[in-house]
Amino acid sequence: MVDRDLRVKTFSYTDEALDELEAALSHERLSTYLDAAGRYRASAIRLHAWNTAVSSAFYGPLQGLELALRNAMHRRLAERYGPACYDHPGAGLDRGAVVRIAGARSELARDGRGDDTPRVVEFSTDYNASPRGVTNFNVLPRAPTELGATLEFRF
């Protein structure tokens, strides 16, 4: 059942509330929003809240993309280089990927879990988002290009 009588509570952006919000978020973080909002702090805070909501809306689809891409790359590498594909020199792994894979293997061993390749790829992917709008998804940064190893999204 959908509640069609939704109401948004208004929030009073007093100078005291704005000071506290700015201190909590940091002036440095808000500076981009202040510039975009013509230096009006209440508008900058609203813009920050809007950005958070939009970012949240992307989380689910990006998580699905991350899973699909990670699994597709694992399948392609395993088809080409076999079950020990992450140890194969032809896989084209750079130093960062090798370090992440070693870390994943250590974490799995510490937790008493198997060191099978699907678990390693799950723990060795690197996903990060920037508040400035560039999202990088690095799985195997220097893997052969025909495997589609690196994606960059610009919003």
Total of domains in the chain: 1
- In this prediction, residue 14 carries a pLDDT of 93
Domain encompassing residue 130 = 15-154
CB 140 within 8 A of CB 88: no
In a domain, 8, yes or no: no
In a domain, 6, yes or no: no
Query: How far is the first Cα of the chain from the last one, in angstroms, to the nearest whole number?
Result: 34
**Could you list the mean pLDDT of each consecutive 10-residue stretch along the chain, which spans 155 residues?**
64 91 93 94 92 89 83 84 86 80 84 73 54 40 45 42
- Phi and psi for 111 in degrees, rounded to 5? -85, 5
In a domain, 101, yes or no: yes
- In this prediction, residue 17 carries a pLDDT of 93
**Cα separations in angstroms, 8 against 5, 47, 50, 99:** 10, 16, 14, 47
In a domain, 134, yes or no: yes
In a domain, 9, yes or no: no
In a domain, 90, yes or no: yes
Q: Whole-structure pTM over 0.75, yes or no?
A: no
In a domain, 27, yes or no: yes
